[in-house]
Chains A and B, each alone.
Chain A
Amino acid sequence: MTISKAIAAFNSNHDTLQAESFFKKSQISVRPIIKPRKIGSNCALALEFPGAHSQKVLEICKANRLSLVGIFQKKKEGWDKVM
């Protein structure tokens, strides 16, 4: 199944901004969005990116010890945590 767009959600705003910087350096096209309420109750950002890069995103977050809550894909209703 092809994931067209995915979002990465983090525990903290700081980690989200840190991740944005790392993703850009790795040539991953990324757009900060307001985190969907169904994913978490933070006022934090989430990062939208092409779903094809999900594995790379996961690796970047692990390598840099970022507080990744998960990588999510939009469903008809709600969000699926895919990683």
Chain B
Amino acid sequence: MVVYFDNAATSYPKPSSVYDAINFTLKHAGANPGRAENTFSHFASKIVFDARETIAKFFNIPDSKNIIFTSNGTEALNLALKGILKPGDHVITSSMEHNAIVRPLNSLKKNGIKETIIQCDKLGKLNFNIVKKEIKKNTSLIVMTHASNVTGTIFPIDEVGELASKNGIPFLVDAAQTAGSVPIDVTKSKISLLASPGHKGLFGPQGTGFLYIDDDLDLKPLIEGGTGSNSELSEQPEFMPDRHQSGTLNTPGIAGLKAGIEFIFKESILGIKKKEDLLVEAFLNGLKEIRNVHIYGPLLTKDKTAVVSFNVEGKDPGQIANDLDHKFHIMVRVGLHCSPNAHKTIGTFPEGAIRVSFSIFNTLQEINYFIDSLKKIAT
């Protein structure tokens, strides 16, 4: 048996419709969308347009022109943070963030941004009341993950969105770990900016992602260049999506992303969460049978995504991961998961932890096999 338990890094496998969509686009829609607009180019343009419309429907985004395709979630977050923050601005974030937020913010601090990091508890949970207290006159952005990629802890984005909206502060949500498995409604949750990779819970291929930008926000473009529009001008267009969409898009990837989201529509997002919860419950029950296993993060599935991090007391997590892979063909991820702050928060820095993360393509049989294999290594 070969078992892939690293879906928080990238989901695998993809639904077969995703492979089909990518293949079809490569073979039959190989022209450049938004350029030339000959028959082939128009066909490619339509694929990109339809993908935007599908994303808009999925996240209840009012206007699909406000969806910018990126190469991944990190690029989307960089576009948001570097596009909106200016010297003198104050930003609020949490202690559980991925380096895709931490590093750009650290870089922006050198240019005069002030940052408040809300300390989460040992389970990775955010206390909403502390967020309230930290709002200042010059708070220009609240940015946080929807769920931790280390513990799976789900953040209270409805409450934070409401607070941000009441105070006229834009709210940026990193949906890397929740898009596709936890319902997200940007209108209901008052999310001003939503960043997501396409290649995790949305089942698109690597090389895809997007940023939704609220109509009222004007971000400074991260990348400037050819847009196929206003070509006589040497400035970036003002209108969306062209303002932030320079260069040739990953059309086959975007077609795959659209197919991935359509798959989720068919399965239903609540159906996906339910199945993932069953896997998580079985996994946690199995882990609890093994002595000296320490599990991090919440233990109730209503509080978490399908991500579980743990360590075995007295054993090097790297060695455990190696044994799982080479002896039992089980693939996990060990280390800091690009989230050193999250590990500092839960007390696993600098060694990190072993992380397993599921998708609906994993099975209870694989969970049982993992537990049996871990018992052989850990005891």
Chain A interface residues toward B at CB < 8 A: 11-15, 17-18, 32, 34-35, 41-45, 67
Interface of B is mostly: loop
Nearest first, the 9 A-B pairs at minimum CB distance are A43-B228, A17-B49, A41-B232, A13-B34, A45-B37, A43-B35, A41-B231, A42-B229, A14-B65
A65 to chain B: closest residue by CB: B63
A12 in contact with B37 given A17-B45, A18-B65 (CB within 8 Å): no
On chain A, the residues within 8 Å of B231 by CB distance are 41-43
A32 to chain B: closest residue by CB: B42
- Is A32 a contact of B37 with CB atoms below 8 Å? yes
- Is B37 a contact of A34 with CB atoms below 8 Å? yes
Tell which of B38, B65, B229, B242 has the most Cβ of chain A within 10 Å.
Answer: B229
A34 in contact with B36 given A14-B242, A44-B228 (CB within 8 Å): yes
Question: Could you list 7 further interchain pairs (A-B, Cβ under 8 angstroms) beyond the known A43-B231, A67-B239?
Answer: A11-B239, A12-B65, A13-B45, A14-B64, A34-B36, A41-B231, A44-B229
On chain B, the residues within 8 Å of A43 by CB distance are 34-37, 228-229, 231
- Is B46 a contact of A11 with CB atoms below 8 Å? no
B241 to chain A: closest residue by CB: A14
- Is B36 a contact of A11 with CB atoms below 8 Å? no
On chain B, the residues within 8 Å of A42 by CB distance are 228-231
* Chain B residues within 8 Å of chain A by Cβ, number: 23
On chain B, the residues within 8 Å of A11 by CB distance are 229-230, 237, 239
B53 to chain A: closest residue by CB: A21
A70 to chain B, nearest CB (A): 15
On chain A, the residues within 8 Å of B37 by CB distance are 13, 32, 34-35, 43-45
Contact with A along B217-232 (1 / 0, CB 8 A): 0000000000011111
B34 to chain A: closest residue by CB: A13
B136 to chain A, nearest CB (A): 35
Task: Let me know if B90 is at the binding interface, CB within 8 A.
Answer: no
On chain A, the residues within 8 Å of B33 by CB distance are 13
